[in-house]
Amino acid sequence: MSGYTAALKSGEAIFYQDKKRWLWLMSIVYPLQPFLGIWLYVKTGTEAWLLLSLALSYIMAPLLDMILGEDENNPPEEVVLQLDADRYYRFLTYLVVPIHFVSLIGIAWFVSTHELSTWAFVGLAIIAGLASGLGINTGHELGHKKSKLERTLAKIVLAVPFYGHFWVEHNRGHHRDVATPEDPASARMGESIYRFALREIPGAFTRAWTIEKDRLERRGSSAWNTNNQILQSMAISVVLQIGLLIAFGWLMIPFLLIHNIFAWWQLTSANYVEHYGLLREKDEQGRYRRCEPHHSWNSNHVYSNLVLFHLERHSDHHAHPLRRYQSLRHFDDLPTLPNGYFGSYLIAYVPWLWYRIMDKRLLALAHISGDLNKINIYPPKRQQIYARYGRPERLQPVVIEEPQAD
């Protein structure tokens, strides 16, 4: 299917064609890019080529996002059901699952069978981890769907980065608590990415385990049984990584240690930039209001969205988590990142630069308008932020009246 027809309420017929339909294949190819550097090394003998993947992700990708700009086009709502039903798009998410395994196993084989310098070995372990971190993005897309097949594939692909708790934590924890001080996966204004990582990584696992333990206990089961969805994915991880150790030797211990850390770091980087400083308001009963598009930082940059299954249209995703990636929408006046995710990661890795760029954007948002009461602030930096931007008159979250029904 290459196009979709529908009728507007006025009776007018429309035809929609996804101009990026075949470009979504880039999300399939992207986890394989480390093999390009390996191939060039084999051809030339120059170890520097092994780091090509880092240059493609953190130099080329931000430049391409700057050059190609943003795509603000949305599919008409009248064709969304047809677009979501098109099996081509979901087949791409199925196809990339084994590719993540191929990427890790292939790189592990290469480092174990070639004499490499220490820096080249470490560099490839980092690259393998960053490539496996993309598997969390694949698990993210699959794990939000209702079909048993897609949820099973999510658990399988999350075994590659050894992050099996993500599906439980993200769907039933992060989406519930997003943009609140209670969420370990929502960064706070004034909190560096490094401090955030120390809170987010253990906090996410603890929340996931608690959620799954409570689910099983309500069914009269112990958390330590085969129905534990976290343990199911982690069992695959253990088999995979022990298998690599048996197949390729003790060199896999440092390789996999570095790999796992940087796979997790990839998710931490995404979580950090996605909700920095944003805060959901409370209603009159003290409950947080439902998540709206303005509670996530968005990016419409073309290139990085094409290699991340539209992850960067994060505002619509959080407001409508069941929407498939090809149907996610742009909204006007959203919190907007200065670049795609890869460029934004680089800024975040330099905290003073991140604060300089993002704090101004945060305060300038239309729904905040400089009101620090409407911002999720890192507690140890609260007084420092007040001193810089002015102490707010109110120290309690703003209560916004519910709109009256027409």
Per-residue pLDDT tens over the stretch 54-102: 999 999 999 999 999 999 999 988 888 999 999 999 999 999 999 999 9
Per-residue model confidence as pLDDT tens digits over 304-331:
999 999 999 999 999 999 999 999 999 9
Q: Please report how many Cα atoms fall inside a 13 Å half-sphere around the Cα of residue 279, on the Cβ side.
A: 23
pLDDT band at residue 404 under the 50/70/90 scheme:
very low
Residues 150-173, mean pLDDT to the nearest whole number = 96
List the domain boundaries for the chain: 18-389
- Residue 367 pLDDT exceeds 50: yes
| Per-residue confidence (pLDDT) for residue 144, from 0 to 100 | 94
Residue 113: CA count within 13 A, CB half-sphere: 11
Q: Which of 277, 334, 269, 333 is nearest to 304 (CA)?
A: 269
pLDDT tens digits for range 340-353? 999 999 999 999 99
pTM: 0.93
Examine the pLDDT at 285 and tell me if it is beyond 70.
Answer: yes
Higher local confidence (pLDDT), 39 or 333: 39
pLDDT of residue 1: 54
**Cβ(297)–Cβ(314) under 8 Å?**
yes
User: Rounded mean pLDDT of the chain?
Assistant: 93
Tell me: the pLDDT tens digits for 104-115?
999 999 999 999
CB atoms within 10 A of CB 102: 13
**pLDDT band of 250, cuts 50, 70, 90:** very high
Give 99's Cβ-side CA count (13 Å radius).
24
Higher pLDDT, 49 or 76: 49
CA distances from 233 to 133, 157, 305, 307 (A): 15, 8, 27, 24
Give the C-alpha separation, 157 to 314, whole Å.
21
